[in-house]
Amino acid sequence: MLKHHFARQAAAALLKFAKATSDPQVAAALVEKAADLKDRLDGLPPPLSDVLDSHVGSLIFAISN
């Protein structure tokens, strides 16, 4: 779970810096690194909190109906 959290924060920071820079080569490199982080996240299983949240929501829906 922490890997997901920190990788998302890092990717968001890279994109923020890419938007703020006036150097197009630096911006492109930062966007590429953010995309690499996202690709690595896509290969990991979802965080347990996401899995539990989806199951709890389904259970609440089933109980309420």
Q: What is the mean pLDDT of the chain?
A: 77
| pLDDT for residue 48 | 61
| pLDDT for residue 15 | 94
What share of the chain in percent tops pLDDT 90? 37
3-state helix vs strand vs coil in the chain, percent to 5: 85, 0, 15
DSSP string of 41-54, one letter each residue = HHTSPPPHHHHHHH
The per-residue pLDDT for range 7-35, each reduced to its tens digit, is 888 999 999 999 999 999 999 999 999 99
Whole-model pTM: value is 0.61
| pLDDT for residue 22 | 95
48 neighbors 1 (Cβ within 8 angstroms): yes
Interatomic CA distance for residues 28 and 35, integer angstroms: 11
Average pLDDT over residues 55-64: 54
